[in-house]
Structure 1
Amino acid sequence: MRSTISSGMSSWTLFALAFSSLAAAASGAWTFEDAQAVIAAKGGKAEAYKFSPTKPIKGAINLGPKDILKVSLTVKEDSKVGRPHQAFLLVQEPESKVEAFFPLNVKELSGKAKVDLSHKDLPAFLLTAPSLSLSLVLGSFGQSTASIATIGNVEPLLDPAAKALLEKQKQKDIGEGTVVYRAKDEIRHVFRADPQSPPKIITLVFLLSVLAGLGGLFVVWFPILGGNLSHLPKALKAAPISHPLFFASLLSLEGIFFMYYTQWNLFQTLAGMAVVGPVALFSGSRALREVRARRERESARRCEEK
């Protein structure tokens, strides 16, 4: 069972009109025959009410707490029995247009359809209504016109205690008062703030530590690590492209990191790395290969001198 709350025209009316517009030139229509509504009560006599697409049930049907309303009929597409894609019993409160619908169980070969309705099937905002209208909705794909046929009216019978409990449930479901539609509280979406850079003092401390490390490296490079600028002309002569390109790519990588820290996002940084990274890898391998070959030649020459 599914409940809907509507204002003005019924959603099922729109449903039928939509099918009707698609089937304006159709020669057939969905209808039914041999229809009846039976009130079955435990320990009581069943009451049957006949109805047709053009003749609804006269008067109101009383539905007690222990009663079951059994609706049965034969669905037909024009003059042949059929099984529509949509077959529902529509229960509606006439004043507020609050409605609920219940699917019919339709047999494919015979077109026999039935649905049962009792107090436990109806939500509180319908069960507390003084009167409910019953309609039958039939429609399907194809050229046959959909239809909405009025069955009649049902009056749920409730004792005062049960009605008071249902009224409380009704207020809980749709709110206080008689207004079904009303403005809801404004929903404000709070998104996570963009990540912020650390305080400048922390940035300066780390920058100075990096610069001090680089300065210390250059200080100990020549006396301790054996740095020798006299090898620079030999290196450039042996690999005039690899060494400058490798050095430039390293500077470019540092520049990319700086731009990522100050302006760029992750995608821009990855794009820059995708361009500079292969250049650094290719030129660095060639430059280091030249350095290794030169050191091996110098080591061999020293061994010969000894």
Structure 2
Amino acid sequence: MHFVGPVLLLVTSTAQALSTFTLQSPRVIVSSSDGTQLRSEPLSLAQKLLSPLNLTQTDVLKLSFQVLDKETGNGVQPQQTFLRFYDANTTEEGIQPLRISTSGKVKFELNMAKPPSSLPPTLTSPLQVTLLLGTSQFKPLKLPLFDLFIPPSHPATEHPDEVLYRKRPDIEHTFRPEPKTPPKVVSAVFAGLVAGLPWAILIGLWSQLTNLRLTHLLSLHVVPFTITLGAFEVLLFQYWVRLKLGEVLLYGAVLGVVTLFTGKHALSNIAERRSSGK
């Protein structure tokens, strides 16, 4: 915590140590193709030109100034010196690098007979022309200069990926209607068949065994097997009502082992009774 004060002081002193750009004799001149001067105005650092500049297909625009250190008055050669042409309506922009001498002098010429590729596509709205300066040990400068009308050009070429970001038609989902449930009477009949048919078949088969008495079926050796079969029916019913498949498989595996042993014991008991003639 004791280092916060010195660090803030260092940052503040570094920010205060940055020098400031200024321009000397900034001027813009518009001339025709034969060299006739159509307009010549000095540029202000406080605000851009109040009236926009107009260029025809053959006009030439000349921009000149010198970059100085505001504190010392010496010429400065910034590492970055650009003109930005920006169309506020289409948001198209172009960046034009400027050549600058070691003494900070700049002379730029825009010939509309041979316009540079840095000019963005234009329609009828003016281009906002801004000067951008930047280098180490100096505060960056963004200076609006003037608005510029130039002849309309061809529209901007469409980016190949632009179609991917256009608005597309809404996706309309078509859902199938809810399935109709059968009448309750039909459901009850088939539920009764599913639940009662196996037992009816089992009882019918038992009735075919002439030497199998009812007392044998109700003996303690056979009843556990019958109960486990009924437990399977209850398990399937619970699966239909509330149990999940994993739970049914788990309970069914345990119940299957119990059914295996009770069934084996019941069959062994019946076999003993048959062998003894009871």
Instruction: Place the TM-score, normalised by the shorter chain, in its bin.
Output: 0.3 to 0.5
TM-score by length of 2: 0.48
TM-score by length of 1: 0.44
Structure with higher RCO (Cα < 8 A, 6+ apart):
1
Larger Rg: 2
